[in-house]
């Protein structure tokens, strides 16, 4: 289990994510897209952001139970003033883009790569899953940022999705 070093009221440290912006051409599974980088400082400053972090794209809990409700409730997030919804994992940008396409995220939810779980590690929210061959990963958590300040932090205490799920995050907004 991850032990956060960040808390509600703290400003998040700078972070850089690899990201492949959705384009309609990517509806063709053979189109990969071109990775770009975004930073917390440039992309999230002045905005209300919901980030949901998962240990891995295409893994059972993440793929079936964690991410889909965020897409299903996307309009509710937007109606509560959320500017950006993103899903974060240590998978590379190509895997995140592929997962986003399979999940049907299109341009609604950003599929962000926290390479080597560096940003999550800076928050105290990385987990070592080497015992199952996954290496260092992002923990399962959700965070609400308002102009880079943590307004909500839901870190899962064990298996499953509770405090980092779409319903819990919507209630915190």
One-letter-per-residue 3-state SS of the chain: CCCCCCCCCCECCCCEEEECCCCHHHHCCCCCCCCEEEEHHHHHCCCEEEEEECCCCCCHHHHHHHHHHHHHCHHHHHHCCCCEEEEEECCCHHHHHHHHHHHCCCCCEEEEECHHHHHHHHCCCEEECHHHCCCEEECCEEEEEECCEEEEEEECCCCCCCCCCHHHHHHHC
Q: What percent of the chain has pLDDT over 90?
A: 69
**For the residues 58-85, what does the mean pLDDT come to?**
88
CATH of the structural domain 16-20+27-172, one choice from 3.30.1360.170, 3.40.50.720, 3.40.30.10, 3.90.960.10? 3.40.30.10
Domain boundaries defined on the chain: 16-20+27-172
111 three-class SS? strand
**For the residues 11-24, what does the mean pLDDT come to?**
95
Higher pLDDT pick, 86 / 159: 86
Q: How confident is the model at residue 64 (pLDDT cuts 50, 70, 90)?
A: low
- Model pLDDT, residue 136: 66
- Model pLDDT, residue 135: 61
- Model pLDDT, residue 5: 81
Q: How confident is the model at residue 122 (pLDDT cuts 50, 70, 90)?
A: very high
Taking Cα atoms as reference points, which of 29, 11, 18, 1 lies closest to residue 126? 1
Q: Is a pLDDT exceeding 90 seen at residue 21?
A: yes
Which residues belong to the active site? Answer: 62
d(CA 96, CA 98): 5
Q: Which range has the worst mean pLDDT, 33-42, 47-56, 57-66, 158-167? A: 57-66
């Amino acid at each position: 289990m991850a032990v956060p070093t960040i808390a509600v009221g703290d400003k998040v440290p700078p972070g850089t994510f690899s990201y492949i912006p959705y384009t309609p051409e990517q509806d063709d599974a053979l189109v990969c897209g071109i990775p770009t980088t975004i930073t917390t400082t440039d992309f999230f400053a002045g905005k209300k952001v919901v980030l949901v972090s998962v240990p891995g794209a295409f893994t059972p809990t993440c793929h079936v139970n964690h991410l889909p409700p965020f897409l299903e409730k996307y309009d509710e997030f937007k109606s509560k003033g959320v500017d950006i919804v993103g899903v974060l994992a240590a998978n590379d940008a190509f895997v995140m883009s592929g997962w986003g396409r399979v999940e049907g995220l299109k341009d609604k939810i950003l599929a962000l790569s926290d390479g080597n779980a560096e940003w999550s590690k800076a928050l105290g929210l990385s987990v070592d899953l080497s015992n199952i061959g996954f290496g260092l990963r992002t923990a399962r958590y959700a965070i609400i940022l308002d102009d880079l300040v943590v307004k909500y932090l839901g870190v899962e205490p064990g298996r499953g999705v509770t405090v980092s799920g779409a319903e819990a995050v919507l209630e915190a907004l």
